[in-house]
Amino acid sequence: MPQQVAFFASIAFSFIAWSIVTARFIWPELGRRSRADALRPLLVLHSFRFVGLAFLVPGVASADVPAAFSHAAAYGDLVAAALAVLALLVLPRRAGIGIAWVFNLWGSADLLNAFYQAGHAALVPGQLGAASTLLSDSENQELFGIAANSHGHGHNYVIEVTMEGQPDPVTGMVLDLKKLKDVVNREVISQYDHRFLNYEVQPFDRVVPTPENIAIDVWRRLAPHLSKEGGRLHAIRVYETSDLYVDYFGEAA
């Protein structure tokens, strides 16, 4: 089963399971209480949502998690926790009921926004890790730092492909860009995208997926196919971040 399908299937089943638990056990018990007394245990649970601030703590969440996701999740949870605490303090007055409604609307919007930001930032449940099986745990930690986390960490790599040759006198192109894009999508993007490189993509079950090794692997995947299309590969550039990249010019360089 594809990783993303399994991830969203687990979310769907969690909603179903908790809906059953709520209908069978929680709702009947809360239904016997007054509105204020029924709200209190729910608000107490949500008052702990300040733990979402962990998204901003280096080493707890990967430094590569996009700020659009981590900041929205962290501060969204903080506001939700503050609203829950405020409602608890004001209950059972009518203002407390109103604040509880504001909390409910905010919390729902925060959850939906987290799903949107995660999808927009292409976050995946299993993320890239950096560690070598040839080194001890302490050596991996010293060399790779938090990237040696056994549970992995993520990157949004950007790859640039440079071709060389004489432009065709008719088309004005060294290689038909549609053909180039088709080859890159088929041989690289479809193989790398949303994958745990260390486990799902060879040769990274044997070598560390550094930008250098990724550039070499991308070259080896593309070069034979592009030559069949009449193109000549000149360079592969792999960006790990906007200011950190490597260039690879092939084995003969």
List the strands of the sheet with 158-164, edge to edge.
Answer: 158-164, 232-241, 244-248
Residues 6+ apart with CB under 8 A from 120: 68
Domain locations in the chain as residue ranges: 33-120, 137-248
What interhelical angle do 35-46 and 94-120 show, nearest 10?
40
Task: Encode the chain (253 residues) as per-residue pLDDT tens digits.
Answer: 665 677 678 888 998 999 999 999 999 999 999 999 999 999 999 999 988 888 777 655 655 566 777 788 899 999 999 999 999 999 999 999 999 999 999 999 998 888 777 766 655 444 434 555 566 667 766 666 655 555 556 788 999 999 988 888 888 888 888 889 999 999 999 888 888 887 788 888 788 888 999 999 999 999 998 888 777 899 999 998 888 899 999 876 5
User: Considering the domain 137-248 in this protein, what is its CATH number?
Assistant: 3.30.479.10
Give the helix/strand (H/E) hosting 70. helix 67-90
pTM above 0.75, yes or no: no
Residue 247 tokens read as 């260039």
User: What pLDDT is recorded for position 45?
Assistant: 92
Report the 10 Å Cβ neighbour count for 120. 11
